[in-house]
Structure 1
Amino acid sequence: MTTTITTPTIITIPLNKLVPSAANARRTGQQMGVASLAASITAHGLQQNLNVRLAPSGRYEVVAGNRRLAALKKLAKAKALAKDAPIPCRVLAEGDDPTEISLAENTLREPMHPDDECRAFLALAEEKGMAIDDIAARFGTTPAIVRQRLKLARVSPSLRARFRNGEMTMAHMMALAISDDHAAQEQAWENLPDWNREPYLLKQALTHEAVPLTDKLAVLVGVAAYEAAGGTIIRDLFDAEDEGYMADRALVHRLAAAIMADEVTAVQAEGWKWVLPEIQPDYSTRYTRVYPRPDGDRLAYAPEDMAKAGARVRLEHDGTLRIERGLVHPDDAKADAAPTHRQGPERGALPAAMVAELTAHRTAALRLELSRNPAVALAATVQALALPLFYQGSRSCLAIRAEHEHLERHAKALDDCPAHAAMEAERERWGDLLPGDAADLFGWCLAQPQAVLLDLLAFLAACSVNAVQAKDDSPASDRLTHADQLAGALSLDMAAHWTPSVDGFYSRLTKPMLAKMVADAGVSPGVAIASLPKKEAAAAAARALAGTEWVPEVLRSPHTPECTLHAAAA
């Protein structure tokens, strides 16, 4: 059988005579990329004719090429093209099936391989000298996308050949593009076993000597100072959250150490017994503290306290330096402690039972008088709560004690919730305001305005809150039920306090858990999470949930009845 190939006749039809056709097979994404297509038509002209058929109205329906038609109409609306501009069109014969023609055009089209696109952009930039902004404008894309394509085009030719052959994915190429060193790229690929060439491992291999710009050392040093010292920045064009790396780790550490040394010198000049720099926090030593005392209209440390205490300059997680003054080393605290001797009862003293009875009467009288004096009761309550938190070993006669649960025992990713650091800063603030000696605390409380005592009481009460649901805790326990009531009364919104990170939260969950969270939040990850490697699945879930107010159910506050809110307000 001989197949006869006919050459269709192309005619030009005025743009305003063309309308979309309901027979077009493409129903989804008809408007996707129209702006890019319009920019391409402006720069290069219409490269492919439209397939049309004559409609009863006398106009022509476009059965294949609706996106091109939308781009042309967009140009006409912007007055970049005449409304009746002649458009090359192929008019279908009477027996042609418009749906079949549309389907053939949309399904038989073979998209360009991403590497071919990258090479084409590179040729325009290097061989023709076109600026990045000009390339972006001519192809209807953004300068950032063009920079990414040029970055990919500079990956090692041998690795790009693997990409074209299907041996690696676009994610691998993006990870390799973090470095411009072809030998390093190839070595990173070859050094990983073929069963574990995850993109994030490639990036780690190429940046193991670098410091991320989000690292606290990089923040402390600052990009300007680092570059002024001769350091270079590695930019990651494919990661919006992590903008790059400081390539010279040794230089970063030298600059950070110099900043710390200057700060240590300044604090040493205050007269402390010792000053310790801590780039990495050291929790192995349990310090006691001395506090500043009133000195006229200001607070100041006593010289005798400074002679036995020291300070430390600590680099915080956010790259700021925090100075903690008045720390007493355990060895100095032991040497300063006076020996105590247990004394026996004096000769002629009352029997112990009689002493207990009489002091019971005194206790009853104290209770009665205190119940009639709210101002003193407030001062005594604040003192009782503050003693165990700020003065180790001291107790009040009030049987009120603030128990402080150490949350770092339960939480690994403290950086995900800034409330931890904010509470620690508040503790430091009150520590600097309180007297250094526990014996002076009650007099200090009596001398304070009620507003100050209420603020301190709120902080001390806050320190005693324990809403941790440990492994063996029942969610219906009295303690956790009250925590829910407290959250409702405070209108607690954990979305404002907690931002889950990939390492701190998502990567510690299974892929089914991640998929369920994304589904529950009603957002699309853009890819099947179950099909991804664990690390990429965690990152995909994080991207999908970023910017939403989703939090796990355990962090959600239950509805607070109106009567409870009124009671809390009262």
Structure 2
Amino acid sequence: MAIITAKLSQLRLSPLNQRRVKPSAIESMADDIQAHGLLQNLVAYEEDGLLWVFAGGRRYRGLKELVKRKKVRNSDLFPVEVRSKEEAIELSLAENFQREDMHPADSIRAFAALRDTGMDAEEIAARFGQAVSFVYKMLRLSALAPALIDLIAKDQLTLEAARALTLTDDHDFQVKVCKAAKGQAHTIRRMLTTEKVDTTSGIFLFVGREAYEAKGGTITVDLFSQGVEGFADSPELVQEMAEEMLEAIAADYRSIGWHEVRAEIERPYDLYMKGSMYPATREPTGAEAERMAVLAAEIEAIADDEGEDSERIEPLVDEQEAIMEGQRAFTAEQVSVGGVALWISRDGTLGKSVYRAKAEPKPKTSHDGPTPLYSNALFADLSRIKTRIVQEAVASDPALALDIMLDSLAGQLLHGAHSYQMATEVQAKTIGTEVADELMATSDVQAVEEVMATRFASIPEEGRFEAIRAMTGDDKMTLLAGLVAMTVDGTVFSGGSPGQRHHQFEQIARASGVDIAARWKAPIALFDKMRRAALIEVLREEVGAPSAENCATIKKKTDLAVNVSERLPAGWLPAPMKIGAFDQRAGGMDQDSDRIDEEDMAENEDA
């Protein structure tokens, strides 16, 4: 290692410099060097008569900027620390990690280069103070097609989408899927996992990872997960193992003599039509009765001496419950007519239901006792007539009708009741409006259900109807408005299109007279979530082509988002939030503007 002085004309930016995405603030670096001089020497290795700078790239670019300003000459001398070429990769990476955050694309390439020198993830992590999991993910991303890493460097492919693409190792397929999914992470994952089994699914948990891998099954780790979750690459093997395990359990039940045993991957759809069977409880044996008496006496003594919360009581209670459970069992008669359904639950446990499989013989008709006055069919018809009469009475009493509707809505939306439990079949469902806090940073609008829960907290669950009957007319109308508001839905779900419901929603919005721009202003988080092409197009439409073209030259997506947010006029709203947006199908909201072209795949960012 030696420090020499060298002419600027002898220096070149090394291709081994791990920061390939151009760093920001070169002009300010040049200003600082002009004001204070070069405070820290450059680091380079010598090759072919030139000095290749691999640490201090921003300082080198700052000097070249000063040459353009005619403040520095290429013949001027500057201090350079000379190292070997072998040290260049590691030292360049170390310097960049200690300074301005490296672009993810640079980290991906740098860690891959270190791995190629023989270092493993643990060594890289220890050397540069990074988490092993972070290094591992960067190394996984380095397996992407080089063209995709170039897109990451250009901020045209998000890390979320890149991680999803690692679910396949085929470079050509990665590029094909990325283009087809238009860089959307969730679409990429869906396309790449259609034929695979999620390792968090019930069927895989039931089989077990260890057993699956023992059979030769492989797993593709999902970089979206926090641990080692991913996708089983052999769904046929998972299915076969699950069926074998279920059949082995079913065979045990058949050997006992159950009339019917069904073993299926999913819960049988027709179980609700079968009557459940429950185990019978036998009388305790003499030994069991004696032991239960002893346990009860011990528990009582401990409670008197140490209190009912004593830790010594719990194991005694557990023993009591075990004895009582042992007294519960299906009788031979139940087994002879019973059925057992087995399936795999969502959490990977064994689901089981016992039901009557063999019909009971019909009892012989007996004329003992009084004969019912009405047949079942006639009884039903009479109840319908009664219902019609009551409906007529309610229809003639608006105040009563309002109270009944409010009771039904309040019961369902405030107290969690079900519509089938109510006297009126008013189907009520709270329409959730939860969004990330960052998207509501500029607004104080509260969810209606939260406001209602506070405003009408005094309405009791027991005696609710009487409480509503006693309310003033104004309070009733306020309650009605809030409850109805909780059911209004203008949401267009991801991947969906506006329909008739949304056109009706626009009528409600227009009738309300609400000024949306006065209640919500677009926060910076909105622009951070938008695609680069979309940001430019919004600016073009709202401000004009010159402003859009000027911002299109901004390299960093975060800087672009800030510039767009500052240039848009006051009161600007995204198209979907404008009243009338769904009066007709909106043709202007093109979700496919962020295309990945073949030329973009081929271009490389300048060093």
TM-score w.r.t. the length of structure 2 is 0.40
Greater RCO structure (CA 8 Å; 6+ sep): 2
